[in-house]
Amino acid sequence: MKKETARTLVVTPTYNEVENIRKLTERVFKLDLPDLEILFVDDNSPDGTAALIEQLQEDNPKIHLIKRAGKLGLGTAYVEGFTYALENKFDFIFEMDADLSNNPEDIPIFLQEIEDYDLVIGSRYLAGMNVANWPVSRLFLSLFANWYTRIITGMPFKDCTSGFKCFRRHVLECIGIDQIRSDGYSFQIELHYLAWKKGFRIKEMPIIFIDRESGSSKMSRKVMKEAALMVWKLKFRNI
Give the per-residue pLDDT at 3: 44
Asked whether the beta carbons of 73 and 183 are under 8 A apart, the reply is yes
Number of H helices, E strands in the chain: 8, 9
Range with the lowest mean pLDDT among 15-24, 142-151, 163-172, 195-204? 142-151
Q: What is the pLDDT of residues 170-227, one digit of tens each?
A: 999 999 998 887 887 789 999 999 999 999 999 999 999 988 665 555 555 666 666 6
pLDDT band for position 18 (cuts 50, 70, 90): very high
Query: What amino acid is encoded at 84 in this protein?
Result: Y
b/e 152-177 (16+ beta carbons within 10 angstroms → b)? ebebebbbbbbbbbbbbbebbeebeb
Of 83, 90, 104, 159, nearest in space to 126 by CA? 159
Give the per-residue pLDDT at 222: 64
Give the per-residue pLDDT at 89: 96
Q: Is the pLDDT of residue 160 over 80?
A: yes
According to DSSP, the β-strands at 36-42 and 63-67 are parallel
* Rounded CA separation 50/66 (Å): 9
Rounded mean pLDDT, 6-25: 96
Q: Regarding predicted confidence, which is higher, 51 or 139? A: 51
Q: Regarding predicted confidence, which is higher, 129 or 195? A: 195
* Rounded CA separation 130/125 (Å): 6
Give the per-residue pLDDT at 217: 53
* Rounded CA separation 92/86 (Å): 10
Rounded mean pLDDT, 10-32: 96
Rounded mean pLDDT, 26-41: 96
Rounded mean pLDDT, 104-118: 97
Q: Is the pLDDT of residue 2 over 50?
A: no
Q: Regarding predicted confidence, which is higher, 239 or 174? A: 174
* Rounded CA separation 80/151 (Å): 31
Alpha carbon distances (Å) from 90 to 81, 119, 201: 11, 15, 19
Give the per-residue pLDDT at 196: 96
Q: What is the pLDDT of residues 45-94, one digit of tens each?
A: 999 999 999 999 999 999 999 999 999 989 999 999 999 999 999 999 99
